[in-house]
Amino acid sequence: MANVNKSPTKLRRAEVAGAGFAGLATAIALRQNGWEVTLHERSDELRAFGAGIYLWHNGLRVLEGLNVLNEVLQGSHTPPTYETWMHNKSISRETFKGLPWRVMTRSHLHNALVDRAKAVGVNICVNSEAVGADPQGLLTLQSGEVRQADLIVGADGVSSKIRDSIGFKQDRWGSTDGIIRLIVPRKKAELGHGEWDNTIDMWNFWPRVQRILYSPCNENDLYLGLMAPSADTRGSRVPLDLEVWVEMFPFLEPCLVEAAKLQTARYDKYETTKLESWTRGKVALVGDAAHAMCPAIAQGAGCAIVNGFSLTQDLEAGNSVEDALVAWEKRIRPITDRAQQISADYAANRSLSKGNMFTSAALEAARYDPIKRVFSWPQ
């Protein structure tokens, strides 16, 4: 077991529900601080859902704190620019003033976190669905087992059973647009002339609203996000309706042909959850369970892992778990709330289509350094 600072005092126990990015990051951070941690995943295997992911300075700093940054940097990619196209013409190129950012496959990130969780001794249980929690520090599993702990973490995603079993007051809504996310071979040689190492956010409003977020993850893997309104039956069809996408993005045909072969493709609408509180007694909600957001500024997972990592810091302050959770939410939540608001506005107005939309407000969460607890990058 590596880099675990065993607390000299009483061993504290945490039960974490959900082995997505939020649950894994929280479990590792707690374990590194000497907690005994059991992580419950309802699926029969540990795997990432979705296709590719962007992480920014804030999330990369968490990976550094969790001692997995080097593993994640190998096999991922920072594109030279984030380019925006409108009707297949470039309208902006953003480099974020040197702010670190990275694109990768979700499985790459997930595998690195799973390996680290195992290495530090997180007790991982698959086929272990959590069905409810009690603020006194009880976690109930589908099997009927009730587990007691000093801390319960609900990291069980946007449809969180932990959250709903306790009755956190919440608003939850879906957006007009949704997305088909896929990983396909890059086919760089077949794409012909172009700066294909860039992220290219390709928007079209005519004759239909269709967008492709083209995101190289490494030399071999390309993450495609194909956005269309949910009312568009052809644009939202899976497996992919090749004709309708090639018509709008003919230069991407080699990649789209590969995308159309993927029978497991899903069309997902964006969801937002806004809660009155993220904590109740000894229960904390982390990640999409607490703050699912539209992906416009690519901060859902970034904020999730920052919040999970930060939770451990507040638990080290020496207060009761209940008080530490309240202090944690007060300290860290405003950054997530503002990111969530900008994401919702951008998604509702399709603002990214204007180009140059990674303003200092849009990059606020990205600039946060959760290790030093400051905004460490110039605006």
Ligand X SMILES: Cc1cc2nc3c(=O)[nH]c(=O)nc-3n(C[C@H](O)[C@H](O)[C@H](O)COP(=O)(O)OP(=O)(O)OC[C@H]3O[C@@H](n4cnc5c(N)ncnc54)[C@H](O)[C@@H]3O)c2cc1C
Binding region for ligand X (CB under 6 A): 17-23, 40-43, 49-50, 53-54, 129-130, 155-157, 161, 179, 181, 268, 270, 287-288, 295, 298-302, 304
CB atoms within 10 A of CB 318: 7
Of the two residues 305 and 321, which places its CB atom closer to ligand X in the complex? 305
Answer yes or no: are the C-beta atoms of 276 and 329 closer than 8 Å. Answer: no
Q: What is the nearest approach in angstroms of ligand X to the Cβ of residue 177?
A: 10
Supply the Cα-derived Rg of the chain in whole angstroms.
Answer: 21
In the three-class reduction of DSSP (H, G, I as helix; E, B as strand; rest coil), residue 143 is classed as: coil
Q: What is the nearest approach in angstroms of ligand X to the Cβ of residue 329?
A: 16
Answer yes or no: are the C-beta atoms of 371 and 377 closer than 8 Å. Answer: no
Of the two residues 230 and 254, which places its CB atom closer to ligand X in the complex? 230
Of the two residues 22 and 315, which places its CB atom closer to ligand X in the complex? 22
Q: What is the nearest approach in angstroms of ligand X to the Cβ of residue 372?
A: 20
Is the dihedral angle over the CA atoms 248, 251, 255, 257 positive or is it negative? positive
- Distance separating alpha carbons of residues 320 and 1, to the nearest angstrom: 28
Of the two residues 13 and 254, which places its CB atom closer to ligand X in the complex? 13
Q: What is the nearest approach in angstroms of ligand X to the Cβ of residue 253?
A: 23
Q: What is the nearest approach in angstroms of ligand X to the Cβ of residue 246?
A: 22
Q: Which long-range contacts (CB under 8 A, 24 or more apart) does 206-212 make?
A: 206/87, 208/232, 208/235, 208/244, 208/248, 209/177, 209/235, 209/350, 210/235, 210/244, 210/245, 210/248, 210/249, 211/350, 211/353, 212/245, 212/249, 212/252
In the three-class reduction of DSSP (H, G, I as helix; E, B as strand; rest coil), residue 177 is classed as: strand
**Residue matched to tokens 């306790």:** 166
Of the two residues 118 and 254, which places its CB atom closer to ligand X in the complex? 118
Q: Peptide bond preceding 135: is omega within 30 degrees of 0, i.e. cis? A: no
Quote the Cα angle for 27-28-34, to 5°.
90
Of the two residues 254 and 348, which places its CB atom closer to ligand X in the complex? 348
Look at residues 8, 6, 11, 53 and name the one whose alpha carbon lies nearest to residue 34.
Answer: 6
Q: What is the nearest approach in angstroms of ligand X to the Cβ of residue 151?
A: 16
Q: Which tokens in the block code for residue 322?
A: 């209940």
Q: What is the nearest approach in angstroms of ligand X to the Cβ of residue 103?
A: 8
Answer yes or no: are the C-beta atoms of 204 and 211 closer than 8 Å. Answer: yes
Q: What is the nearest approach in angstroms of ligand X to the Cβ of residue 370?
A: 14
Of the two residues 54 and 377, which places its CB atom closer to ligand X in the complex? 54
Of the two residues 164 and 254, which places its CB atom closer to ligand X in the complex? 164
